Amino acid sequence: MPFKTIIEPFKIKSVEPIYMSTEKERGAFLKKAFYNPFQLRSEQVIIDFLTDSGTSAMSARQWAGIMMGDESYAGSESWHKMEKAIQELTGFKNVLPTHQGRAAERILYSHLGGKGKVFFSNTHFDTTRANIEFSGAEAIDIPIPESKDPELIHPFKGNMDTTLLEVLIKKYDPKNVGAVILTVTNNSGGGQPVSMANTKMISSICKKYGVTFIIDCCRIAENSYFVQHRESGYENTSYRDIAHEMFSLADGAVMSAKKDALVNMGGFFAVKDSGLAEACRSLLIITEGFSTYGGLSGRDMEAIAIGLEEVFDPDYLKYRIRSTEYLGEKLHKMGVPIMLPVGGHAVYINSRALYPHIPLDEYPGQALVCELYLKGGIRCAEVGSVMFGKYDEKHKLIPAPMDLVRLAIPRRVYTQSHIEYVIEVFEKILKDRSKIKGYSITYEPEFLRHFTAHFEPLKSKTPVQK
Ligand SMILES: *Cc1c(COP(=O)(O)O)cnc(C)c1O
């Protein structure tokens, strides 16, 4: 019988101290940060769940690889290792290295996009949408309807609505479609997996209409875990082979290596079509760097090549997915409204359900983000109307479909007792839920406002005189 406790399948060789701030100190830190945790200093944070991006702990093998990094300007050995690792994993011949995911997106989508073009996705990640819209094109999200019900159990809630995809391709005319982008796992929609069956269906629709099909593969290993455990026919297929099969259905892939490549910086895109690669390569050289390093140093490329191998280790993936699920299960049992089932890299809290008394234009998600920081020094991100809200002509908020708060778990960084602490903080959050007030925005930029917006806590409304 295997033991029920799933331990971290690694030992710790190097540690980073955490400053244990007091609640009073955190109140001052948060005020100074304009109530936007993106503006906090990291030493002011106890548990950092802001993102799983670039926050992974590298392995001893990766650190050894750092020393092996070949810093040659052209034809670096480390580049050849990274290129080979990506070609073997994805099956795509043409690999273009970039300093991170959004640089790959900017190059590829500014080439495929532009005015009059439209992109469809299960959900465009925020930088994906921003790059597409910045090119003048339109980005339309078409997740399956089940994804909009935060408590509905569905094994592949990250799937794309393929019926709608075909209707929309015909409506917009295939020649105006920049690309269909499948985000695996679906980050903004809850870290939910995408099935192989759904990917096959998308692939055949794209082939039928001659539309480019791109996989945003930031969390491809985590997605493969779910396919093996939830989709019939894949029980005995290795995680790597599942990923390989998924790539074989697409024309290309974009990756932020800061996720499942287990590194702190890096990205790439890889495409089947040499003509497309050639067209993008010029833009790569103008803005990122020569085609054998993009925006990366040799040591980064070395660590990516190793990380892409380590991430498919079955013991690692089991620990990774199960520990995220453990946090979600505990919160759910306590009565915290969370997105179900729990996704691969994050637990999403439904802040609208937690704080039903806070109007949507007073941002219940931001209220929870601030509370978690004040009470426990936990930093996390709002994924709701702050991130995706728009305004109508009268500057009235058009809220996002959901107001979620994301607790994103860095890879190989926190232990079980850190997670137990977070669970305890939530007991306090639940106790105080009815007292919590909303926030107003006092400053915001035009694009990606959640990174730099300023907020102000709202005072209690004066009771109406009878
Ligand atoms: C992180 C991420 C990106 C952007 O990558 P960066 O490395 O942050 O620029 C794109 N798509 C998805 C799904 C992501 O999670």
pLDDT digits (tens, 9 = 90+) for 257-282: 999 999 999 999 999 999 999 999 99
Nearest atom of ligand 1 to the alpha carbon of 104: 9
Specify if 220 maps to a domain: yes
- The residue among 286, 310, 334 that closes a domain is 310
Quote the ligand 1 centre to 101 CA distance (angstroms). Answer: 5
Report the CATH number at residue 109.
Answer: 3.40.640.10
Q: Calculate mean pLDDT across residues 136-154.
A: 92
Residues 291 and 438 in one domain: no
Mutate to test the pocket of ligand 1, among 259, 269, 300, 448 (most ligand atoms within 8 A of CB): 259
Place of tokens 């094109």: 137
Specify if 125 maps to a domain: yes
Residues 296 and 325 in one domain: no
Place of tokens 């903080």: 425
Does residue 292 have its Cβ closer than 6 Å to ligand 1? no
Q: What pLDDT does 451 receive?
A: 87
pLDDT band at 466; cut points 50, 70, 90: very low
Residues 48 and 64 in one domain: no
Does residue 239 have its Cβ closer than 6 Å to ligand 1? no
Query: Measuring CA to CA, which residue among 372, 375, 427 is closest to residue 24?
Result: 375
Does residue 222 have its Cβ closer than 6 Å to ligand 1? no
Residues 370 and 396 in one domain: yes
Residues 346 and 232 in one domain: no
Domain that holds residue 449: 23-52+314-457
| Spatial contact of 282 and 101, defined as CB atoms under 8 Å apart | no
Does residue 256 have its Cβ closer than 6 Å to ligand 1? yes
Residues 357 and 403 in one domain: yes
Specify if 121 maps to a domain: yes
Specify if 18 maps to a domain: no
Residues 277 and 323 in one domain: no
Does residue 121 have its Cβ closer than 6 Å to ligand 1? no
Report the CATH number at residue 444.
Answer: 3.90.1150.10
List the end-to-end C-alpha distance of the chain, in Å, as a whole number: 68
Task: Give, in degrees to the nearest 5, the angle at Cα 85 between 217 and 79.
Answer: 110
Query: Measuring CA to CA, which residue among 27, 81, 60 is closest to residue 304?
Result: 81
Specify if 384 maps to a domain: yes
pTM, two decimal places: 0.92
The pLDDT tens digits for 312-366 are 999 999 999 999 999 999 999 999 999 899 999 999 999 999 999 999 999 999 9
Residues 336 and 243 in one domain: no
Specify if 4 maps to a domain: no
- Maximum pairwise Cα distance, the chain: 79
The sheet carrying 177-183 orders its strands as: 94-98, 267-271, 252-256, 213-216, 177-183, 118-121, 138-141
- The residue among 279, 310, 341 that closes a domain is 310
Q: What pLDDT does 269 receive?
A: 97
- The residue among 282, 310, 338 that closes a domain is 310
Query: Measuring CA to CA, which residue among 168, 221, 233 is closest to residue 197?
Result: 233
Domain count, the chain: 2
Residues 295 and 320 in one domain: no
Cα–Cα distance for residue pair 310/304, rounded to 1 Å: 10
Quote the ligand 1 centre to 358 CA distance (angstroms). Answer: 30
Specify if 2 maps to a domain: no
Does residue 296 have its Cβ closer than 6 Å to ligand 1? no
Query: Measuring CA to CA, which residue among 216, 301, 295 is closest to residue 256?
Result: 216
Mutate to test the pocket of ligand 1, among 55, 132, 186, 218 (most ligand atoms within 8 A of CB): 218
Residues 355 and 296 in one domain: no
Query: Measuring CA to CA, which residue among 281, 227, 230 is closest to residue 249?
Result: 227
Residues 373 and 423 in one domain: yes
Q: Is the pLDDT of residue 446 over 90?
A: no
Q: Is the pLDDT of residue 375 over 90?
A: yes
Residues 330 and 381 in one domain: yes
Does residue 266 have its Cβ closer than 6 Å to ligand 1? no
pLDDT band at 6; cut points 50, 70, 90: confident
Cis peptide before 341 (omega within 30 of 0): yes
| Pairing verdict, β 213-216 and 252-256 | parallel
Closest residue CA from atom 12 of ligand 1: 125
